[in-house]
Chains A and B, each alone.
Chain A
Amino acid sequence: MGKLLKYEFRKTMFLKLIMLVLTAVAEVLFLFAAYRKDPDSPLIGISIFLLVMIASAGITFIGLYSMLVLQRDLNTKQSYMLFMTPHSGYTIVGAKVLENGISLLLTGVFYSLLAALDIYIIFKQYVTLDDIVRMIQDMLRSMDLPTELSATTAVLIFFTLLASWLSTIVCAYLAIILSAAVLAGKRFSGVVSFILFLAITIAFGRIANLILKALPSMKIESSMLVQIGMSLVLSVILYLISGWMVDKKLSV
């Protein structure tokens, strides 16, 4: 598994390097603007906007790119490199899921730390702590999240989003594998697998809502823990189906 994981990271390295370079450029711009301390300059606003965009797009693209890599690993001759190695379908898909989970986690942690550092710099250079707290509370209110944000809640929000995105990606994996393994060569296989992806995602969203409503009233933190649990359970189920399909049905 370790060796497979190494090569999965290698396959997505280029995208991460691009993200890192873009982040570095935006961060240098931000630090330069913060250093100049010119209240009339739009530079600080532009650089913050860029950083937020790069971070959001980065996390989205890591997921999307992993789907592209899987698609390529199943539908081009490069698939031989992966499938001639002595590993089961579960290990091969597992390495992909794990690589994606680790990449998302590290990227999320990286951008969270960078955001914390940049907020600290703004606080030191521009505004008072009260302004920052008010700004964050406004943002949370607009997202229907509790405004008195503890560190625990912040971490839970982070993991809820991460687990939800991971389950979406694993669902997309299943759709791609289904398309390559069971529907290969059939007409509209791409459309069928995309419909399956949407159906699973929507069905899971509804089931998750029903479960949350059925449970006795609970604090938002507990609700987030349940959501994380459900996303992870869904990811595991979809992963097991994907692994089985690769082992038993997939021809490359």
Chain B
Amino acid sequence: MLESRELTKKYGSKTAVDHVSISLEPGHIYAMLGPNGSGKTTWMKMAGGLVKPTSGEILYNGAPIGINSKRDIAYMSTEPYFYNWMTAKDVGKYYQDFFADFSMERYHELLERMELTPDLKTKALSSGMMAKLKIAVTMARDARVYLLDEPLNGIDLLARDEIMRSILQSSGSDKLLLISSHLVEELETIADYAIFLKQSHLIEIVATDTLREEQGKSVADRYREIYGHGGEN
């Protein structure tokens, strides 16, 4: 469904993603893991059509990323990106205007669950509230693919539960979810596969069940093995 072949992105002399080949299939939740600068965000942005690869290719249902893939892929950036003049209501209207799979009803339901109101101005939101708004508007799409970059960043524990619930509600046999996060334990509970990236390279893709059953390790254990104790070193 979503596949990168020898995908590379360079910013000047810095290589953000280096010959990464991954094939992701529907019906699964993938956790994309790795410390800062490992290439997670850049890979997702390329899949979302926001960043152009330097070499290699990224395909959605066999075709290059473009207008058609953007109709099916719901991308949520880790950074705030709404226009300053928008209220939460405007954000919903914007998505409704551009994405046929957006449900205003579900959006309002998610806003309520996240304890947000439609009249909130985006420029006045705290980072936690902004994160919740981004999740609400992204998950209100009935997309085929969800790319969620650090959806749990800056979010308190209770809201985190709501977000995880929304994510799980959106999963299905024809859906693909790719989530990046530093909170490995949190993702471990829902992810079918873990993708480990390190210094712009793909280290491995492993089924979380296999890891537990055959190697007797959790995803967090494997994370520590790959990146060293603490993960960020």
Contact = CB atoms under 8 A, between A and B. Distances in A.
B79 interface: yes
A80 B52 contact: no
Interface in B83-134: 83-85, 94, 97-99
Contact of B49 (A3, A11, A83, A185): A83
B52 A249 contact: yes
A3 B98 contact: yes
A209 interface: no
20 contacts: A6-B97, A7-B97, A77-B79, A77-B81, A78-B81, A78-B82, A78-B84, A79-B50, A80-B77, A80-B79, A81-B81, A81-B82, A81-B83, A83-B50, A84-B70, A185-B12, A186-B12, A249-B52, A250-B52, A251-B45
B75 A84 contact: yes
Interface in A201-252: 248-252
Given A14-B85, A78-B83, 18 more contacts: A10-B85, A11-B83, A77-B80, A78-B81, A78-B82, A78-B84, A83-B50, A84-B48, A84-B75, A86-B68, A86-B99, A87-B67, A88-B66, A185-B12, A249-B52, A251-B51, A251-B52, A252-B51
A160 to B, nearest CB: 35
Interface of A: 3, 6-7, 10-11, 14, 77-81, 83-88, 185-186, 248-252
Contacts of B11: 185
Interface in B41-55: 45, 48-52
A85 B70 contact: yes
A87 B97 CA distance: 12
B212 interface: no
* Residue of A79, A185, A251 contacting most chain B CB atoms (<10 Å): A251
B89 to A, nearest CB: 14
A18 to B, nearest CB: 14
B94 A7 contact: yes
B188 to A, nearest CB: 28
Contacts of A85: 70, 98-99
B189 to A, nearest CB: 28
Contacts, number: 58
Interface in B180-204: none
B80 A3 contact: no
Contact of B67 (A14, A80, A86): A86
Contact of B71 (A11, A77, A86): A86
B39 to A, nearest CB: 14
Nearest to B91: A81
Nearest to B53: A251
Contacts of B70: 84-86
Nearest to A83: B50
Contacts of B50: 79-80, 83-84, 251-252
A83 B77 CA distance: 12
Interface in B1-31: 11-12
Nearest to A91: B67
A86 B11 CA distance: 25
Given A86-B70, A88-B67, A248 B98 contact: no
B58 to A, nearest CB: 13
Contacts of A77: 77, 79-81
A86 B81 CA distance: 17
A249 B67 CA distance: 15
Contacts of B94: 7, 81
Contacts of A251: 45, 50-52
A10 to B, nearest CB: 7
* Best-buried of B71, B97, B98 by chain A (most CB within 10 Å): B98
Contacts of A7: 94, 97
Contacts of A3: 97-98
B86 to A, nearest CB: 9
A80 to B, nearest CB: 4
B131 to A, nearest CB: 14
Nearest to B68: A86
Contacts of A83: 49-50
